[in-house]
A = this chain, B = another copy of it.
């Protein structure tokens, strides 16, 4: 797939097919893509923990749902006023209820807080997945239960978790991601000045 098509059509896929298997080879391919990204001093601090075990996925799903429920409770009143937010919240609730059924969950870990080195790799992973027809979404909502997540997977004390990425074949359709025009998000030579 052309890189620009992958960039244009990689969007959060929160409804994944629980019954369609994802091959080990495809998982290796997308994790390898993640590891190709640059990092400060080329130190490659990120570790990619691929969870396939059904019991562990189910437990992760429960820990995740608890966090989303506490996060979203306060947002509920907004769903009635903004249709775009309402749609997104609906798919977020779907993910919260079904995360553990995704065929694969990938947890991104590293010591310290090397954000830049982490998330450039995450984007590589999501683009590579898109090219293979696999849906992903990056979520950080597991963090309210981070200690329990780490205990479940044997993650050392000095290692932090930065994102949880469910992977599977999407139930929804691919299509251009809904984004604002570049003119609203870019400036030229000084803050606020039109890019042209």
- Chain A residues packing against B (C-beta within 8 Å): 1-8, 10-12, 24, 28, 31-33, 35-38, 40-42, 44, 46-53, 56, 84-85, 88, 109, 115-116, 118-124, 126-128, 130-131, 137-138, 140, 153-156, 159, 162-163, 177-180, 182, 185-192, 195-196
Contact = CB atoms under 8 A, between A and B. Distances in A.
Contact of A3 (B1, B48, B118, B179): B1
A152 to B, nearest CB: 8
A4 B28 contact: no
Q: Which of A8, A40, A115 has the most CB of B within 10 A?
A: A115
A150 to B, nearest CB: 8
A185 B35 CA distance: 7
Given A119-B123, A186-B35, A187-B49, A44 B192 contact: no
